[in-house]
Amino acid sequence: MIERSRETLVNAVLAGLLLAAPLVATLLDEPFYVSLASRVAILALAGVGLNLALGYGGMVSFGHAAFFGLGGYVAGIAAFHAFEGSAFLSWPVTIGGSDQLLVVWLVAALVTALAALAIGAISLRTSGVYFIMITLAFAQMIYYLAISIPAYGGEDGLAIYLRNQLPLADSSDPLVFFFLCYGLLLLALFLSARIVAAPFGMALQCARMNEVRLATSGIAPYPIKLTAFVISAVITGIAGALFADLNGFVGPSMLSWHRSGEIMIFVILGGVGRLFGPLAGAALFILLESFIGGFTDRWQLLLGAVLLGVVLFARGGVMGLLAGRARHD
Amino acid sequence: MFFAFLIEQLLNGLQFGVMLFLMAAGLTLVFGVMGLINLAHGSLFMLGAFFCSWIAEASGSFWIGLGGGFLAAAAAGALIEFAVIRRLYDRDHLDQVLATFALILIFSEVTRWVFGDQPLYLDIPPLLSGFLPLPGGGGYPVYRLAIIVVGLLTAYGLYLLITRTRLGMRIRAGESDREMIGALGVDIRKLYTAVFALGAALAGLAGGMVGALQSVQVGMGEPVLILAFVVIVIGGIGSVKGALVASILVGLTDTLGRIFLPQAFALVLPVAEATAAGSALASVAIYLLMAAILAWRPKGLFPVNA
């Protein structure tokens, strides 16, 4: 129990720091750091999604950029049609664009859920390296599809001229937008914690550790894993929609395999299967990127060295260092 | 005329496939023997290309450059195996993916540092710069034919190495039981380093040869890496034979798809839309192929019991 309370403390400190950073930045009139904090929250959210599949379910998806990018493209395409006043579909029913965040999120969740259902249904037939590679292949497919559709920018991507809006608050205010991202991150973390503690989550973790044993106790692993995969994709998809709105831009780079690798890095750097791992990982990654990137162009070299060091010498990632080893491993 | 065009495209597909095989052979050997996923394999391909064009420029000879690229990639492979990779054999795939992803970042940045941001260019050697006449008119570049020949010879050489030599016997033994081969007195660490360096050298060879067809730049390895992964997954991870079959399959599918899918769509659609739809489908064709094959045979075409 000592370990557990220490992890709770670390989690609270992390969440508090992320909340405090933009408030201080606003007081100091440094809007750049507010959007940097939003970036951390969004990428952590994407990582929380992947962590559900990868950390708790043992499904090493190397294609989560597909869902991240799909969410982003939903936001981008909706805003594009709303801005132009044109229709996304005119037959058999007319579907126009939308500049409402709530609508965008709902559609992004639906689209990513459907995509994850299709991708997961096929991919989960395989396991191990084959699963890693087939998820990568599906992500590449969507990447090349996005490049080859000129109507939505093709290789150049799509600019979002006006950030999608909320009914009551002004989402174009950096601080308000940060609170949105932060709120969704906390919601996703809460949801993850509940899922993991529920019978469903127990079954999911058992599927990671010993699938045969799970099957013997009368629970089919496949539907459990597929459900978790879909939930994981939806969370990452919402993060993608937020990311597009934060940058005012969506492009194929959101779908690229580097992005999949990056989301995976957040999870592993932070600590696989640790609730706040993705937040710790994303925060460290972004800090390294923006601060080392500030004084040298060679920041990737340092990032590579840090990553290598974490894998080789600090197993369990940042959370492993800060809060001790996970209780079950 | 159409016949000559078809032969030309088939040869292009074959050349692409053979080049993929050189990449995939190393990946699949390393996975089969050591159980390691190596994302940095694309970086070794890139290193081969850079060293080949750099040495070729300095020495004035393509052939010295090619040999230099081959050796440099082998040396780099042995070096990273010794320094990093051997610590990863007992880890799960997740750690391996992350660590070798980190190696990609390091290799790319160091290469950019050493060779600069500008792409390098490599000329086709005069000996191979001609065209070979095709039946039905037109000609085919001798250099591309040479790549096909080198690739097929390498495949045959690998086959002989694995089935006929002592090293090959140890490699096969290492695939089926790594503790036992260690207990029989084979220095497993040296064997692993040798296998890794061999795979790296093949990647370097592929990089050097491709360097004369495209510009040599940082990041050139990753697209090939992804395709090589598609190849070994289709072929069955660990199977060199599977890698050969799958690489030619992927090479042909990709090349022929890019040429003929837009034309096929043009039969039923207006030209502009047909081009867009056809090229969209062509760029995902190999991934569709892979998904279909895995849905049908989850362990690839030539499964290896692992």
Query: Looking at beta carbons, which residues of chain B come within 8 Å of A308?
Result: 84, 99, 102-103, 106
Nearest to B284 by CA among A172, A61, A23, A144: A144
Nearest one of B145, B124, B121 to B62, comparing CA atoms: B124
Q: With the CA atoms of A243, A248, A253 and A255 taken in that order, what torsion angle do they form, in degrees rounded to the nearest 10?
A: 50
Close Cβ partners of B165 (under 8 Å, ≥ 6 residues apart):
none
Phi/psi region, residue B116 (left: phi>0; alpha: psi -120 to 50; beta: rest), is left
Contact A96, A81 (CB under 8 A): yes
Question: How confident is chain A (329 residues) per 10-residue block, as mean pLDDT?
Answer: 72 90 88 91 96 93 95 92 80 76 92 95 86 88 86 85 82 89 96 94 92 91 96 97 93 91 90 90 89 77 85 81 66
- A158-159 vs A95-96, strand pairing mode: unpaired
* Total Cβ atoms within 10 A of residue A221: 20
Q: What pLDDT score was predicted for residue A3?
A: 55
pLDDT given for residue A327 in this prediction: 52
Nearest CA in chain A to B228: A133
Six token digits for residue A319: 């959370």
Q: What value of ipTM does the predicted structure carry? A: 0.80
Name chain A contacts of B279, Cβ cutoff 8 Å: 148
Check residue A329 and give its pLDDT.
45
CB contact under 8 A, A129 and B237: yes
Give the span between the Cα atoms of B89 and B87, in whole angstroms.
Answer: 6
Chain B nearest-CA residue for A55: B94
The answer to whether B155 and B21 have CB atoms below 8 angstroms apart is yes
Name residues of chain B where pLDDT drops below 50: 306
Report CB contact under 8 Å: B87, A312: yes
> What six digits make up the tokens of A116?
């994850």
What pLDDT is stored for residue B264 in this prediction? 84
- Amino acid found at B43: S
Residue B97 and residue A264: Cβ atoms within 8 Å? yes
Are the beta carbons of A311 and B237 separated by less than 8 Å? no
- B121-155 as b/e, with b when 16 or more CB fall inside 10 Å? ebebbeeeeeeeebeeeeebbbbbbbbbebbeebb
* Chain A residue at shortest CA distance from B236: A130
- Tokens at B180, concatenated: 């036992």
For residues B122 and B56, the answer to whether their CB atoms sit within 8 Å is yes
Give the minimum alpha-carbon distance from B264 to chain A in angstroms, rounded to a whole number.
17
